[in-house]
């Protein structure tokens, strides 16, 4: 073999951009849940179906006279969908939006995030990520060659006897400001926040906005849970704050909006000067998104536009139902001693499992964070699946909050009841001699 061929064969076959991003918590935990769980409150998806009006729209699209809905549509978004999204979000933002240039459809919000990082981040750039965070942000920043810079939400001690709220987890303004440098290209905002359920207040958003404007930083605003806010809270769009429209990409998801995560329809909304670069990434990676689901989602939004603010609106009914489920799960957990952090939004709830630690002995010198071992033990031994909070922290910080697990409560009453039964039985086993 020639020297150059030997050198080639001794190099890894895969590209360097994959370094450090090959592990994925979901692959592991989804498999575990599939194998062991009897009650799956782990991965974030509803176990109830999408609303009837949406399913009917899908059936009409796939079986209708227009069989061209089974062929390619416009690459940057099926015209009926981008038109209604432009109308709908234009109304919410108080802005005239052009469906062709201010909106782009993606394969789920996941691919929207990918397009953003690929379009705007490169080697030498820093991206601020607020912890705890949806784990793909870190991976995607790294794949783009950028450097993630983390800033944690810190738990402010709750009033005695009261349950913690996601609102009690806050950014320290000085700490946040210190994370901005001349290398900072973007900050990722996720509100309502997965996993905590925090809904950032106007004051908190203004804090972030001021720093973005001051340092000329982009904002990637993941708002997939925008409709899932409780207790009369308001979801405020950071793009509507002064100086922010021109530097923000808003990301949304049909999966979360319409309880159809398996359809993988997402979108980006923003100024053309930013979206043009997303289009470049999109046309060189995926190009077209599936047509039929886009047609159905367009019809879903049409209905919601007509019913906006009215009691029949899915955007009003769904959060109402989910708030009840939230309260149910809070009660269940509190009753057995798992301390819930009451979420202001999303369909996730994080609970402190300190009182159950005796069931899963600590292993000193273990690489694996405690909560991850706990969650694995719990699904195997109790049949209840949840996700360890450490999954939502960067490597260096995984052991800081290692006694929390995340539950998804977008589940049928029967599922939540079954979870309650498991928890009650578990508690009884602990207290009986």
Partner 1 sequence: VEFTKVAADPSIVNLGQGLPDISPPSYVKEELAKAAAVDRLNQYTRGFGHPPLVKALSQVYERVCRRKIDPLTDILVTVGAYGSLFSTVQALIEEGDEVIIIEPFYDCYEPMVKMAGAKPVFIPLRYKNNGNSASSADWVLDPDELANKFNSKTKAIILNTPHNPIGKVFTREELQVIADLCIKHDTLCISDEVYEWLVYKGNKHIKIATLPGMWERTVTIGSAGKTYSVTGWKLGWSIGPQNLIKHLQVVHQNTLYTCPTPLQEALAQAFWIDYKRMDDPDCYFYSLSRELESKRDRMAQLLQEAGLKPVIPDGGYFMIVDVSTLNVDLSDVDEKEPYDYKFVKWMITSKKLSAIPLSAFCGPETKRQFEKYIRFCFIKKDSTLDAAEVILKNWNKQTA
- What is the contact surface with partner 1 in residues (CB under 8 A)? 2, 4-5, 7-9, 13-18, 21-22, 24, 26-27, 30, 43, 45-50, 55, 58-59, 62-63, 67-75, 107-108, 110-111, 114, 136, 139-140, 143, 259-264, 283-293
Considering the complex, what minimum distance in angstroms separates the CB of residue 81 from partner 1?
13
Q: Given the structure tokens 């996993």, which residue do they identify?
A: 195
**DSSP bridge partners of 104:** 268
Closer by beta carbon to partner 1, 17 or else 425: 17
CB 411, min distance to partner 1, A: 11
Report which of 193, 182, 255 is spatially closest to residue 221, judged by C-alpha positions.
193
What contacts 39, CB < 8 A, 6 or more positions away? 383, 384, 385, 415, 418, 419, 422
CB of 430 to partner 1, least distance (A): 33
CA atoms of 100 and 81, how far apart (whole Å): 11
Judged by DSSP in three states, 223 sits in coil
**Smallest distance, partner 1 to C-beta of residue 147, A:** 16
State the CB neighbour count (10 A cutoff) for residue 91. Answer: 12
C-alpha–C-alpha distance, residues 12 and 294, integer Å: 40
Q: Give the residue among 114, 309, 100 at the shortest CA–CA distance from 222.
A: 114
Shortest separation between residue 289's beta carbon and partner 1, angstroms? 6
Cβ atoms of 204 and 170 closer than 8 Å? yes
> Do the strands 384-385 and 39-40 form a parallel or antiparallel pair, or are they unpaired?
parallel
Cis check for the bond before 225: say yes or no (omega within 30 of 0): no
Contact 340/334 with Cβ under 8 angstroms? yes
Report the candidate in 161, 163, 154, 220 with the shortest Cα–Cα distance to residue 186: 220
* Least distance in angstroms from the C-beta of 48 to partner 1: 7
Please report how close the Cβ of residue 161 comes to partner 1 at its closest, in angstroms. 38
Closer CB to partner 1, residue 285 or residue 317? 285
DSSP structure class, residue 345: B
Nearer to partner 1, 24 or 272 (CB): 24
Pairing of strands 266-269, 248-253: antiparallel
Measured from the CB atom, is 290 or 307 closer to partner 1?
290
Residue closer to partner 1 by CB (options 18, 414) is: 18
Closest CB to partner 1 among residues 11, 162: 11
Residue 285: CB minimum distance to partner 1, A: 5
Q: Which is nearer to partner 1, 185 or 264 (CB)?
A: 264
Closest CA relative to residue 87, chosen from 111, 63, 103: 103
Q: Which is nearer to partner 1, 171 or 265 (CB)?
A: 265
């Amino acid at each position: 073999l020639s020297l150059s061929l030997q050198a080639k064969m001794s190099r890894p076959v895969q590209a360097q951009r994959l370094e450090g991003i090959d592990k994925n918590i979901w692959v592991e935990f989804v498999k575990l849940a599939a194998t062991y769980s009897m009650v799956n409150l782990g991965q974030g998806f509803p176990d109830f179906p999408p609303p009837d009006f949406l399913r009917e729209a899908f059936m009409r699209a796939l079986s209708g006279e227009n069989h061209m809905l089974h062929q390619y549509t416009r690459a940057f978004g099926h015209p009926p969908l981008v038109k209604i999204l432009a109308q709908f979000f234009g109304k919410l933002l108080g802005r005239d939006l052009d469906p062709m240039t201010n909106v782009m459809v993606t394969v789920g919000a996941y691919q929207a995030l990918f397009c953003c990082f690929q379009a705007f981040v490169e080697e030498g750039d820093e991206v601020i990520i607020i912890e705890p965070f949806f784990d793909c942000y870190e991976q995607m920043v790294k794949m783009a060659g950028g450097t993630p810079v983390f800033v944690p939400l810190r738990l402010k001690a709750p009033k005695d006897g009261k349950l913690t709220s996601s609102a009690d987890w806050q950014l320290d303004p000085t700490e946040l400001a210190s994370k901005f440098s001349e290398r900072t290209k973007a900050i990722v905002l996720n509100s309502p926040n997965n996993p905590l359920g925090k809904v950032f207040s106007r004051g908190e958003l203004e804090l972030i906005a001021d720093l973005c404007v001051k340092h000329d930083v982009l904002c990637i605003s993941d708002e997939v849970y925008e409709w899932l806010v409780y207790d009369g809270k308001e979801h405020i769009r950071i793009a509507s704050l002064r100086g922010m429209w021109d530097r923000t990409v808003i990301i949304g998801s049909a999966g979360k909006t319409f309880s159809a995560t398996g359809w993988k329809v997402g979108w980006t909304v923003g100024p053309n000067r930013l979206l043009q670069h997303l289009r470049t990434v999109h046309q060189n990676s995926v190009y077209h998104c599936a047509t039929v689901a886009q047609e159905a989602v367009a019809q879903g939004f049409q209905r919601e536009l007509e019913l906006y603010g009215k009691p029949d609106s899915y955007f009003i009914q769904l959060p109402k139902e989910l708030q009840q489920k939230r309260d149910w799960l809070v009660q269940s957990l509190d009753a057995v001693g798992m301390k819930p952090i009451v979420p202001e939004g999303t369909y996730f709830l994080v609970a402190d499992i300190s009182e159950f630690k005796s069931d899963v002995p600590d292993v000193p010198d273990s690489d694996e964070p405690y909560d991850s071992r706990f969650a694995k033990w719990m699904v195997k031994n109790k049949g209840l699946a949840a996700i360890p909070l450490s999954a939502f922290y960067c490597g260096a910080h995984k052991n800081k909050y290692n006694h929390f697990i995340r539950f998804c409560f977008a589940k049928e009453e029967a599922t939540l009841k079954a979870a309650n039964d498991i928890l009650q039985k578990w508690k009884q086993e602990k207290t009986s001699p």
